[in-house]
Amino acid sequence: MRALIDMSDAQVEALDAIAKRLQQSRAALIRAAIDDYLDRHHREQVEDGFGLWGRRKVDGLAYQEKARREW
């Protein structure tokens, strides 16, 4: 899929300099940057879920046992 994005002249020049140094295309650098961005945000979402139970005042095992008794 193709996407049209607006970049400043400075961004294009910086990307071109990196692309030349790494011998990659500008498009390959942009795809890698998008992959990195998506990966970091996915990890943040996963990490946000850890420790959520710790904020509760009820013991996790007690909560589980109470819930099962209701079945």
**What confidence tens digit (pLDDT) does each residue in 35-44 have?**
999 988 887 7
From the number of C-beta atoms within 10 Å of its C-beta (0-12, 13-18, 19+), residue 51 rates as: exposed
Considering Cα of 43, then 30, then 2, then 10, what sign does the dihedral take? positive
Tokens of 38: 């998506």
Give yes or no for residue 26 having a pLDDT over 90: yes
Tally of residues, the chain: 71
| Global model pTM greater than 0.95 | no
Taking alpha carbons only, the member of 35, 19, 37 closest to residue 27 is 19
Mean pLDDT, the chain, rounded, equals 87
